[in-house]
Amino acid sequence: MAILRTKLRPFGAARYVGLVGFVVLAACLGYGQTTNSCLDCHSALPDPLGVTQEKFSQDIHAQKGLTCASCHGGDPTSDDPDKAMSRKAGWKGKIDHKQIPQLCGSCHSDPAYIRQFNPSLRTDQLGQYRTSVHGKRFAAGDTKVAVCTDCHSVHDLRAPSDPRSTVNPVNVANTCARCHADANYMKGYPIPTDQFAKYTTSVHYQALAVRGDLSAPTCTTCHGNHGAAPPGVDKVQNVCSNCHAFQAQMYEKSTHKKAFDAASLPGCVVCHSNHGISHPTDAKLGTGPDAVCMQCHTPGDRCDQARAGLQSGLSQLNEAIKNADQILRVAESSGMEVSEARLGQDQARDSLTKARVTIHSFRTDLVDQDIQAGLKIAAKNLQAGKEAMSERNYRRFGLGIALIAIGMVLAGLRLYIKKIERP
Amino acid sequence: MSSLRNVSNWLDERLEWDDLIAPLRKKTVPLHRLSYWYFLGGITLFLFVIQVLTGILLLLYYRPGANEAFESVQYIMTRVRFGWLIRSIHSWSANLMIFTAFAHMFSVLFLKAYRKPRELTWVSGVILLFLVMGFGFSGYLLPWNTLAFFATKVGTEITGQVPLIGKPLMIFLRGGEEVTGATLTRFFGFHVAVLPGIATLLIFLHLLLVQRLGMSIPQKLEVQWTANPSAKQEMKFFPNFLLRELMAWYAALAVLGALAAVFPWNLGVKADPFVSAPAGIKPEWYFLFMFQTLKLIPSKVWFIDGEVLGVLAFGLVGLLWLLLPFFESDQPSRPKRWITGLAVFALVYIVGMSVYGYLAN
């Protein structure tokens, strides 16, 4: 600086102008200098090296203040590629597939570190992953199995609550299907590849993907996510009971539980299947193509008779509800006030639902209690509908009489007017 | 007959009955091809009486209050003997009364019956029409169902658009910032006490003026009859016209009974202030033309808020409508044709906008 001062001295005031200009220029250059120089180059590179600013800005890590260097190392403040990607600066280059779980786990298994970003985020993902089929095979050297980035994506990794995230409940099945529905990719693994195709026909998929009901199950709901594994034969009931608690409680006490356990049959799956669970109808109790009881039972035996009784009871209640609905609909469209009976119909429907749930106890006496309760309510509502219709007819009859009387008065008045106006 | 005469004599001795009804005996009604339009006022009056009588009966069971109103109307419709009939007749006759009041007003307008000396009859009649619409607006909320709740919300919001007095007026109508049980109690008070009181006084004034001034006759006929008094045709009000009016009332009663029996008035679903308004909510048919107009006005007209402009425009039109007779010529031979043109335009506008509003999504 002393040399500079000496050299500039002869220019007098101009040196101050020059100094000010220099400071402004330096400030501008400093302002324009990025703190993540990686993206300056990589946003211009083609895949797989290309990462645009737009893509990376969507990443939850970028939003939390992490940079490329957080995973890849190096010096992102340097504009010189050699310095930025120098091993001296800790640059790791492309992360080896085998290193990914460990790399992610270096932060995500550290509660103290994670707490500063999201105190409620779990930190056992790596531990769980190691217990999963994916993790076990990975540890055994299988590089085809999924690691963190295969499911969560990379460089545009979003929070699971983001509807665009690959692990959002609505997208999970598609994410799993990328590998599990690919017969070529899954060659060599002793599992089928039709799970996704079956799942898309299921009542669960309809609820989740079509109706947008986020409480409906997807792959990870039953298999787990980081600790993903197929539930064992004896664990299926535990999986289903997470949502279908009443059915599970009844099944637990039923004779079928003992019989299925003895025969090593996978509980709920025996009647309902697994990935392609269709909407259960009363036809499951029948003898047609959708019937399930007769797959094991013999026609005419005690259980077959019980099955027929249950199906008949459910049909009877269903029919009674339909009949009451029909008459109440007609009464309502005739302007009759039947809102109480319409509300009562919901109770009858609840009884039908309860009876269908009680089927899982496989006890005819318990199911019959629910059916009888529903039949009683439906009969009351049917009666209310009949009364409304007879009231409607009574009103119309009364109207007819009143109109005749009014007509007679009008005719009488007309005759009287004629009489008094006769010249 | 002799016993009836005895009663009549008894009353006459004490009240001078004959002197009281003497003007009715002398009163005549002009007879011409448009005489049947004279029945409309009488039918409107008959429907008002029906309103009062059925309203009193409904009061025996109706309970104003956000927690009770809907249930009490439901009770009337389902449990009270003939409650459904009384409520349905009350609702149907209210709508018919508004319709006949409009029809009566337009018949008076087209027959130019508002001319001197009947300006005050017109003014009292137009105020009565506004009151009748007020009856409709206040009564609509009383069953406290979803449609009524949101219609009142929208309606009072529009009132709030009036510059300066709008906001205080809206708070006064609602009994607070929002439509609540306090609004219901207020509307009940307006519907069963304030409006009937004012309406009854105005009806008496209106009838008194009709009695004092007699029936108007169309302008052309007036000119002809003035030139040739022997061509004048008329009938006695009592009993000839009154008996015909009675026939019209009976016919109205038959229509009311049929509507009530075949299309009982719907109860709807109880109002829930926490749910969103049903899609495509519309006011009652008699407010539809105004509602649709307000919807069609752009949100900003120059620098004025579109809705404020619409409300102000309707207020101004209402005031001018009230004062319409004062723009008319005093000479029957020189009628103001633009008033007839305006009446045609108003009728087409009201009907057109109502149909458009009904069909619009």
Residue B264 has pLDDT above 80, yes or no: yes
Task: Tell whether the model's pLDDT for residue B334 goes beyond 80.
Answer: no
Predicted confidence at residue B278, as pLDDT, reads 85
Chain-centre distance for alpha carbon B153: 22
Q: How confident is the model at residue B1 (pLDDT cuts 50, 70, 90)?
A: low
Do A151 and A175 form a contact (C-beta atoms < 8 A)? yes
Nearest C-alpha of chain A: how many angstroms from B160?
36
Interface test with B, best of A337, A409, A414, A415 (most B CBs within 10 A): A337
pLDDT of residue A244: 92
Mean pLDDT of chain B: 92
Contacts for A269 with CB less than 8 Å, ≥ 6 apart: A236
pLDDT confidence of residue A32: 41
pLDDT tens per residue across span B3-39: 888 988 888 888 887 787 787 788 889 999 899 999 9
Say if A412 is an interface residue toward chain B (CB within 8 Å): no
Q: How many angstroms separate the Cα of B206 from the Cα of each of B104, B105, B122, B303?
A: 13, 13, 8, 42
What pLDDT sits at residue B294?
92
If one looks up domain B34-215+235-268 in CATH, what number appears? Answer: 1.20.810.10
Among B342, B320, B339, B314, smallest CA distance to B328 is for B339
CA atoms within 13 A on the CB side of B40: 19
Domain boundaries, chain A: 51-152, 168-218
Q: Do B261 and A398 touch (CB under 8 A)?
A: yes
Integer distance in angstroms from the first to the last C-alpha of chain A?
Answer: 134
Neighbours of B298 (CB within 10 A): 9
Burial class (CB in 10 A: 0-12, 13-18, 19+), B214: middle
- The sign of the torsion formed by the CA atoms of B187, B192, B193, B199 equals positive
Give the per-residue pLDDT at A6: 45
For the question of whether the overall pTM of this predicted structure is more than 0.90, the answer is no
CB < 8 Å to B84, chain A: 337, 395
CB contact under 8 A, B243 and A417: yes
- What residues in chain A have per-residue pLDDT under 70? 1-35, 233-234
Let me know: does B160 contact B305? Beta carbons within 8 Å. no
Q: Which of A333, A387, A397, A406 to mutate to test the interface with B (most CBs of B within 10 A)?
A: A406
pLDDT at residue B342, as a whole number: 93
Cross-chain residue pair A410–B247, CB shorter than 8 Å = yes
Q: What is the pLDDT of residues B148-195, one digit of tens each?
A: 999 999 999 998 988 889 999 999 999 999 999 999 999 999 999 999
- Cis peptide leading into B273, omega within 30 of 0? no
d(CA B166, CA B172) in angstroms, rounded, equals 10
Pairing assessment for the beta strands B304-305 and B300-301 based on DSSP bridges: antiparallel
Residue contact B247–A414, C-beta within 8 A: yes
Predicted local confidence at residue A159, as pLDDT: 92
Q: What is the pLDDT of residue A35?
A: 64
pLDDT above 90: residue B280: no
- For residue B234, what is the enclosing H or E element? strand B234-236
**ipTM of the predicted structure?**
0.85
What percent of chain B shows pLDDT beyond 90?
71
DSSP A22-65: HHHHHHHHHHH--S-THHHHHTTSPTTT---HHHHHTSHHHHTT
CB contact under 8 A, A402 and B85: no
The answer to whether the beta carbons of residues A201 and A276 sit under 8 Å apart is yes
Contact: A417, B77; criterion CB under 8 Å: no
> What ranges do the domains of chain B cover?
34-215+235-268
Report how far apart, in Å, the C-alpha atoms of A403 and of each of A202, A336, A399, B101, B255 are.
60, 21, 6, 25, 9
A388 to chain B nearest CA, in Å?
A: 10
pLDDT of residue B72 exceeding 50, the answer is: yes
Separation in Å, CA of A422 to nearest CA in chain B? 12
Interface test with B, best of A391, A417, A420 (most B CBs within 10 A): A417
Q: Does residue B281 belong to the interface with chain A, where contact is any CB pair within 8 Å?
A: no
- Provide the pLDDT for residue A33: 43
- In chain B, positions 71-110, which contact chain A (CB-CB < 8 Å)? 74, 77-78, 84-85
